[in-house]
Structure 1
């Protein structure tokens, strides 16, 4: 593990403790759901088994978070998902009947994508069902539930590896890099998580 990641994990731990104290009435969006509790950390063996099962290598910063901070719990929106739950198509209904994301396949996109807008601009017949084809979510590990059918994802294979992307196809919003914290640049996991902490400490009602 790099010194940079270790230093950032220490900062994140301290800021999370501060936020837990300052937001005792759970004013931060989604805090009432997770109440700043973290799940038990993963072991090296557990993470390696998951990686081997799905033929992926988790981004180093996310892997370090699982090992040292927790496997889901306190985090942006309705909190972080457990690693094992990141493969469900729907975070509202974690059931194989609703489909699983193929995180073993490469993520397809480098820029924002919306099939419905592309078809409209091309004056093609709009195929709404095609928007929900499971292949569009390839390579996306679900890490947080924004609500209203929107998931926040960590790219674990292919283009944009390590970046945080939004899957908003349920609301016809397409798939795009996460800029919900007004960040001009694309974020990797620890930067995304720490930015949530910083903004929540500055403005708990955000």
Structure 2
């Protein structure tokens, strides 16, 4: 086990002990408990089935500490749930394609620019917006990722598993019209790899409790 994973395990234990009332957002859903770790063989089967290679630090986490459970917001998803494009409505959601290239290298949130004047030709304007909207919400924009965390309200956190951004956490915030971007919702200025993102959540949660006099 790496030194970082040892710190994460210790901080999670402290958080569970200090927040027995589950005051941190989402804690009542996971109670600061991780699921059992996955056997490495199960990870290899998943990778083979979907023709991908999961980031090494993520694999070490789910095979050493736990496969989903305690984590930011409503908690970490199990690895096997990572293909759902909508974590709120899994049964109805189309599946992601994690083996395909992840096309983003910077925040992406295109604006709708119409060539039709809404006041002059509202029908043409509406058709143009429908075309834009269909493309904007296409799940193909999240190719090369698995979903790892449900932020709520249709927003999800994803782990990039292909290309130069492999191992970094990105947010799919299109349901709020904020697009797709490297996860910075915890105030970090730089993109974070999975274990750093997780440890930052632990640090901020412990600090929140200390400020509240836990």
User: What TM-score do you get using the length of structure 2 for normalisation?
Assistant: 0.88
C-alpha contact (below 8 Å) 1:111/1:176 kept by paired residues: yes
- Bigger mean CA deviation after superposition, 130-139 or 18-27: 130-139
C-alpha contact (below 8 Å) 1:106/1:159 kept by paired residues: no
**Distance in 2 (alpha carbons) for counterparts of 1:62 and 1:98:** 24
Larger Rg: 2
Q: Which runs of 5+ in 2 are unaligned?
A: 117-127
SS at match of 1:111: coil
Q: Of 139, 150, 156, which residue of structure 2 is paired with 1:151?
A: 156
**Distance in 2 (alpha carbons) for counterparts of 1:172 and 1:159:** 25
SS at match of 1:70: coil
User: What residue is the counterpart of 2:18 in the other structure?
Assistant: 22
SS at match of 1:152: strand
**1:5-20 residue pairs with structure 2 within 5 A?**
6-20=2-16
**Distance in 1 (alpha carbons) for counterparts of 2:165 and 2:150:** 20
Matched, 1:163 2:168: yes
CA RMSD of aligned residues (A): 1.7
Q: After superposition, what is the alpha-carbon deviation per residue over 1:38-75, rounded to whole angstroms, capped at 9, x for unaligned? A: 11110010000011111111111110001110000000
C-alpha contact (below 8 Å) 1:73/1:79 kept by paired residues: yes
Instruction: List structure 1 runs of 4+ shifted beyond 3 angstroms.
Output: 122-126
User: What TM-score do you get using the length of structure 1 for normalisation?
Assistant: 0.91
User: What residue is the counterpart of 1:46 in the other structure?
Assistant: 42
User: What residue is the counterpart of 1:184 in the other structure?
Assistant: 189
SS at match of 1:113: coil
User: What residue is the counterpart of 1:55 in the other structure?
Assistant: 51
Structure 1 residue 123: Cα displacement: 6.3
**Distance in 1 (alpha carbons) for counterparts of 2:208 and 2:37:** 28
**Distance in 2 (alpha carbons) for counterparts of 1:159 and 1:145:** 24
In the alignment of these two chains, the number of paired residues is 198
Q: Which runs of 5+ in 1 are unaligned?
A: none
User: What residue is the counterpart of 1:110 in the other structure?
Assistant: 105
Matched, 1:197 2:202: yes
